Chains A and B, each alone.
Chain A
Amino acid sequence: MELNSRIPAGPVDEKWSRHRFEMKLVNPANKRKHKVIVVGSGLAGAAASATMAELGYDVDCFCFQDSPRRAHSIAAQGGINAAKNYQADGDSVQRLFYDTVKGGDFRAREANVHRLAEISLNIIDQCVAQGVPFAREYGGNLANRSFGGAQVSRTFYARGQTGQQLLLGAYQALEKEVRSGKVRMHTRHEMLDLVLIDGRARGIVTRDLMNGAIESWAADAVVLATGGYSNVFFLSTNAKGCNVTAIWRAHRRGAGFANPCFTQIHPTCIPPSGDYQSKLTLMSESLRNDGRIWVPVKQGDTRPPKDIPEAERDYYLERHYPSFGNLAPRDIASRRAKEAVDEGRGVGPSGVGVYLDFRDSIGRLGRDVIAERYGNLFDMYANITGENPYEVPMRIYPAPHYTMGGLWVDYNLMSTVPGLHVAGEANFSDHGANRLGASALMQGLADGYFILPLTIGDYIARMKPDDVDTSHPAFADVEREVREQAERLLSINGSRTVNDFHRELGALMWEYCGMARSEEGLRTALRKIPELREQFWRDVRVPGGAATLNQSLEHAGRVADFLEFAELMCYDALDRDESCGGHFRVEHETAEGEARRDDERFAHASVWEFTGVGNTPKKHREELTFESVQLAQRSYK
């Protein structure tokens, strides 16, 4: 596996414009003869499909939901960053670049991050022109807020539904191209494998979820924009359908997987309430602006919170981080909550949770101000828990939320398989070991609207024309494998449900490869995962048939892939013998309990090559060099 990052020469702030000039162009008259497959209709996939269609390419776009508008991006709440500096508070492309590299704990590629910060400006222009109803000030200009601990106000938002509105903008642009006939939208279609011909990605095999039909699709280039893999933990803030299948199948066919252990745990989620729990709900991080986080000083203190006197409360974030307090970065806030729970100081019926208390801010600002700021969040919390957060402190606990790891891509967003491009959360590119709040939406749209449509053109322009279509025998071979897998799953007829296996895998990953990881724990996981996988293939029960809508079969395929992928995640976490960003190895902490990076040994992206199920994967490295931002230890004290 060869890793050529294809970073253009020149100073970091000129690389993208130079590169744009140096890219080859496809003759406009020929574009319609070139087919591109886009798997995914979230921000990245919808934006890429719409833009490539506008440019003239012939696009097939796929999603597993019944409408492209339901992609998981719809659920993003908080906002999207852009270095517009509308607040004149000292923001700039340079500062957004710097914050993102530093926030990622120096594990991202500088050139990509700078490009992202540059493009952030165009994204806002594009979205506003499409009619995205961003929040505005009374004068009619766009409003901003500060988010996720940033010291400037650069986050644009549409109430608490920013992802929804951005996705609807991209969806509408996509549907316009569906009408014009340049995009064929295939809803309720799941990609189950990638097809390579002469080493290049030339198509995919899908299952039509309505009737089980297995079909082949050929193209000149394939884009995967299939989102993140947080559901390897079973319980996460992601939508139930989010999965690793598309990128895992591509990995099995030769695409390098980068930094799979870089996952982000979000500190403010509603704790699980019982063993039927199916997912976790994120409560916006903005709550930390006015809520104070605490647990009882004493272990096993079951008194109601109002009966616990001030002196017996431990506001642990304020205690550890006097200057950032409750606004400490996500990974730190999450780890400290786990620590409190592990010490037996957790709250709520299960003891898994910490308080987020608005008593003081309600006292200071009044109930109305708090209601105005967070009313809908309070209602949502009350609806889910049955408790009134104006009276009783909220209970929160960290939950898996975002995955920085993904398929390795070069500067053109192309994976190690020629022709296979990867965009959005599915790639590993811009966030290093930790993603800043409001930066995923920015990256998805940067990839989809502004980068891929150009870099794919460069790839296609350099390709020799041929007449590959789905009659090529490679398609039939892959179709057969896909059918066999479905038949195999249906024929086991064992004693445990798919959900049951998924839940067990999730619990195992949360325990050993979650917020805090140790060599011993990871070795245990690496022993247990293959056992669980073996049990799955022996004892799973998938009811129903192959030729109908069968949600158990869909889920079974995804869990089968998670069961292979989980092992890779643990290998990576074990190999990365340092702590950085969201990856915390208990062996590497500073005296204050913070992550201790090891830049000597680990200033690289770990890129894994598939060597067969159950075999140790092969590691390659992309060394990271920092020319514009100086390597420094994060400090939020």
Chain B
Amino acid sequence: MKLKLHVWRQNGPGNEGRFEDYVAENVSEHMSFLEMLDVVNEQLIARGDEPIAFDHDCREGICGSCGFMINGEPHGPLPSTTVCQLHMRNYRDGDELWIEPWRATAFPVIRDLIVDRSPLDRIVQAGGYISVRTGSAPEANNIAVPKANADLAMDAAECIACGACVAACPNASAMLFTGAKVTHLGALPQGQPERYTRVVEMVTMHDDEGFGHCTNHGACQTACPKNIKVDYIGRLNADLRKAKFRHPAG
């Protein structure tokens, strides 16, 4: 099939960007979206142009490196699918695709489709962990964890930090990301001692990094390639309220 692409090109963080038009020819339905871009890039290089820069690594939907908007949708049209797992059989000959980077104040564009997602790391630094010195852990089966809690923790821990939730949110909020980590650690007995300081510090950092507030649009959940649920934002808010009552001093 043959596709018409409009791709966001931007040389560097401060530079002005623009859409450039390309034609992708001989696209096989078995290609992944990134393989289609690989082929376009090979042609660009051959004719002396610079290839389209995009982040990617595992190409299996797990590392969270890839991600951009296709026709206004983060990771494209398929539910629960990262763009590296999106295959071209989902498109038809003659389709026209607008491809652009995540748009969010907290995620400045670095080049073309690549943005700076380091604020997500800083939210984790603020408290997204359980403090346990290496070698000081008790025997693993000493604390039984109800299966339901373990399953909830795992559901929430599946987040890959790709940033699609931020890109989808009209407020560019990273609450789905933050809520997922708060839920994961809060569901486990091991996560209790730091539970309430964690939520306060992570939310404070979230706000300081320039992400917007959650106003319950739910667009994040629709965009999430890993089925992270907005319920986790509810859990985060519940913990946050408790934290303010229980630890009024912060």
A70-B132 in contact (CB<8A):
no
Q: Tell which of A135, A141, A185, A552 touches B141, judged by Cβ atoms closer than 8 Å.
A: A141
B125-A179 in contact (CB<8A):
yes
Q: In the docked arrangement, what's the CA distance between A164 and B62, Å?
A: 8
List, in ascending order, chain B residues with CB within 8 A of A504's CB.
Answer: none
Q: Which of A489-511 contact B (CB under 8 A)?
A: 497, 499-500
List, in ascending order, chain A residues with CB within 8 A of B151's CB.
Answer: 133
- Chain B 62-73, CB-CB to A under 8 Å as 1, else 0, gives 111100000000
A142-B132 in contact (CB<8A):
no
A133-B65 in contact (CB<8A):
no
A51 CB, min distance to chain B CBs, angstroms: 4
Q: Tell which of A128, A239, A380 touches B63, judged by Cβ atoms closer than 8 Å.
A: A239
B85 proximal to A (CB < 8 A): yes
B138-A130 in contact (CB<8A):
no
List, in ascending order, chain B residues with CB within 8 A of A165's CB.
Answer: 154, 157
Q: Which of B113-153 contact A (CB under 8 A)?
A: 114, 116-118, 120-121, 124-126, 128-141, 143-147, 150-151, 153
Q: In the docked arrangement, what's the CA distance between A158 and B140, Å?
A: 15
Interface 9-mer from B42-50, B164-172, B239-247: B42-50
B154-A172 in contact (CB<8A):
no
List, in ascending order, chain B residues with CB within 8 A of A164's CB.
Answer: 62, 157-158, 160
Interface 9-mer from B32-40, B208-216, B230-238: B32-40
Indicate the member of A67, A142, A541 with the most B CB atoms within 10 Å.
Answer: A67
A341 CB, min distance to chain B CBs, angstroms: 19
**Residue on B with the closest CB to A211?**
B12
**Residue on B with the closest CB to A163?**
B62
Q: Tell which of B28, B63, B139 touches A70, judged by Cβ atoms closer than 8 Å.
A: B63
Q: Tell which of A161, A273, A543 touches B49, judged by Cβ atoms closer than 8 Å.
A: A543
B58-A75 in contact (CB<8A):
yes
Given the contacts A158-B154, A274-B30, A125 and B184 also touching, CB distance less than 8 Å: no
Q: In the docked arrangement, what's the CA distance between A173 and B57, Å?
A: 23
**Residue on A with the closest CB to B48?**
A543
- Chain A 604-632, CB-CB to B under 8 Å as 1, else 0, gives 00000000000000000000000000000
Q: Which of A205-233 contact B (CB under 8 A)?
A: 210
B121-A175 in contact (CB<8A):
yes
B32-A66 in contact (CB<8A):
no
Q: In the docked arrangement, what's the CA distance between A25 and B110, Å?
A: 44
List, in ascending order, chain A residues with CB within 8 A of B4's CB.
Answer: none
Q: In the docked arrangement, what's the CA distance between A72 and B57, Å?
A: 8
B140-A131 in contact (CB<8A):
no
List, in ascending order, chain B residues with CB within 8 A of A210's CB.
Answer: 110
List, in ascending order, chain B residues with CB within 8 A of A135's CB.
Answer: 150, 154
- Chain B 100-116, CB-CB to A under 8 Å as 1, else 0, gives 00000000001100101
**Residue on B with the closest CB to A128?**
B140
Chain B interface category by residue count: 35 or more
B60 proximal to A (CB < 8 A): yes
Q: In the docked arrangement, what's the CA distance between A544 and B145, Å?
A: 54
B89 proximal to A (CB < 8 A): yes
A77 CB, min distance to chain B CBs, angstroms: 9
B223 proximal to A (CB < 8 A): no
List, in ascending order, chain A residues with CB within 8 A of B224's CB.
Answer: none
A374 CB, min distance to chain B CBs, angstroms: 16
List, in ascending order, chain B residues with CB within 8 A of A274's CB.
Answer: 28, 30-31
Given the contacts A67-B120, A453-B134, A543 and B35 also touching, CB distance less than 8 Å: no
**Residue on A with the closest CB to B61?**
A380
Indicate the member of A67, A133, A138 with the most B CB atoms within 10 Å.
Answer: A133
Q: Which of A62-84 contact B (CB under 8 A)?
A: 65-70, 72, 74-75, 84
A74-B150 in contact (CB<8A):
no
**Residue on A with the closest CB to B191?**
A131
B140-A552 in contact (CB<8A):
no
- Chain A 514-556, CB-CB to B under 8 Å as 1, else 0, gives 0000000000000000000000000001011000110110000
A187 proximal to B (CB < 8 A): yes
B134-A75 in contact (CB<8A):
no
B32-A173 in contact (CB<8A):
no
A172-B157 in contact (CB<8A):
no
Q: In the docked arrangement, what's the CA distance between A532 and B127, Å?
A: 50
Given the contacts A126-B132, A133-B184, A139-B144, A383 and B111 also touching, CB distance less than 8 Å: no
A350 CB, min distance to chain B CBs, angstroms: 11
Q: Tell which of B35, B117, B144 touches A278, judged by Cβ atoms closer than 8 Å.
A: B35
B81 CB, min distance to chain A CBs, angstroms: 7
A304 proximal to B (CB < 8 A): no
Q: Tell which of A72, A168, A384 touches B58, judged by Cβ atoms closer than 8 Å.
A: A72
Q: Which of A224-272 contact B (CB under 8 A)?
A: 239-241
List, in ascending order, chain A residues with CB within 8 A of B150's CB.
Answer: 133-136, 140
B135-A126 in contact (CB<8A):
yes
List, in ascending order, chain B residues with CB within 8 A of A66's CB.
Answer: 55, 65, 116-118
A359 proximal to B (CB < 8 A): no
Given the contacts A133-B150, A497-B46, A549-B114, A386 and B11 also touching, CB distance less than 8 Å: no
B161 proximal to A (CB < 8 A): yes
Q: In the docked arrangement, what's the CA distance between A130 and B131, Å?
A: 7
Indicate the member of B45, B53, B114, B160 with the most A CB atoms within 10 Å.
Answer: B45
**Residue on B with the closest CB to A541?**
B45
B76 CB, min distance to chain A CBs, angstroms: 13
**Residue on B with the closest CB to A156?**
B140
B59-A161 in contact (CB<8A):
no
B97 proximal to A (CB < 8 A): no
B12-A548 in contact (CB<8A):
yes
B96 proximal to A (CB < 8 A): no
Given the contacts A131-B191, A136-B150, A548-B11, A172 and B124 also touching, CB distance less than 8 Å: yes
Given the contacts A140-B146, A274-B28, A172 and B128 also touching, CB distance less than 8 Å: yes
A129-B145 in contact (CB<8A):
no
B125-A175 in contact (CB<8A):
yes
B188 proximal to A (CB < 8 A): yes
Q: In the docked arrangement, what's the CA distance between A277 and B35, Å?
A: 7
B181 CB, min distance to chain A CBs, angstroms: 9
A124 proximal to B (CB < 8 A): yes
B131-A176 in contact (CB<8A):
yes
Given the contacts A277-B35, A543-B48, A65 and B147 also touching, CB distance less than 8 Å: no
List, in ascending order, chain A residues with CB within 8 A of B139's CB.
Answer: 125
B20 CB, min distance to chain A CBs, angstroms: 15
**Residue on B with the closest CB to A159?**
B154
Q: Which residues of A contact B (CB under 8 A)?
A: 47, 50-51, 54, 65-70, 72, 74-75, 84, 86, 122, 124-131, 133-142, 158-159, 161, 164-165, 168, 171-173, 175-176, 178-179, 185, 187, 210, 239-241, 273-274, 276-279, 281-282, 380, 383-386, 449-450, 453, 497, 499-500, 541, 543-544, 548-549, 551-552
Q: Which residues of B contact A (CB under 8 A)?
A: 11-12, 28-32, 34-36, 38-39, 42, 44-46, 48-51, 53, 55-60, 62-65, 81, 85, 87, 89, 110-111, 114, 116-118, 120-121, 124-126, 128-141, 143-147, 150-151, 153-154, 157-158, 160-161, 184-185, 188, 190-191
List 10 interface pairs A-B (beta carbons < 8 Å), by A numbering.
Answer: A75-B60, A75-B63, A129-B140, A130-B137, A131-B191, A135-B154, A136-B150, A176-B131, A178-B121, A548-B12
